Amino acid sequence: MTEHASNSSISQQSPALEPDLQPTYNQGLTPLHPPQKSLIRVNMILRALILLILASVAELLLYMHHQVQPALVLGPVTVFAILLVFVLPHRIYRRWGYDMGDEQLRVLRGFLWRTDTIVPFNRIQHIDVAQGPLQRLFDLSTLIVHTAGTHNSIVTLPGLATIDAEAMRETIKGHIRQDMI
């Protein structure tokens, strides 16, 4: 009877433990704008195409000069390129997050190496909103914060909706003006 009671208590505890075991990648921070995932995927497609072209040239040269069997190079590179395009963008996207508090901007990023950057508003020198050609297609912008100091003095936050990036810039400018008064 005690075995049954202990087994039922374990089965009752398991569902409660499951949410705790699920990883929280951005620790409750605001995620990037959803089209950023598509932009990451487009960038990965471009990188995969370059990689596949280089692998094709390498395989052709190996075949011509050393009679190496086909798909020895291109096969593994193709598998890697498929992973690059279909798996990596989602993983990169979900590991970015930010929070703009009353006195600071926090940016959490990183797929393999995690970086948690906190920028107090009173250390900010100036702010840029940048937009590349692919970002314009997705109506995205990058907020670039320049701080006092030399080490890690530039903090970038890509993947923001353009209107959000401009609003964040204005909010930070307002905090900087208040600090100057």
pLDDT tens digit string along 140-169? 999 999 998 877 799 999 999 999 999 999
Residue written as tokens 């390129």? 81
Residue closest to 119 by CA, chosen among 142, 153, 170: 153
pTM for the model = 0.80
pLDDT band at 8 (very low <50, low <70, confident <90, very high): very low
Biggest distance spanned by C-alpha atoms of the chain: 75
pLDDT reading at 27 higher than 80: no
pLDDT reading at 126 higher than 60: yes
Q: Which residues pair with 18 in a beta bridge?
A: none
Q: Are 112 and 95 in contact (CB under 8 A)?
A: no
145 phi and psi angles, rounded to 5 deg: -110, 125
Among 24-33, 93-102, 113-122, which stretch is predicted with the lowest mean pLDDT? 24-33
CA atoms within 13 A on the CB side of 105: 24
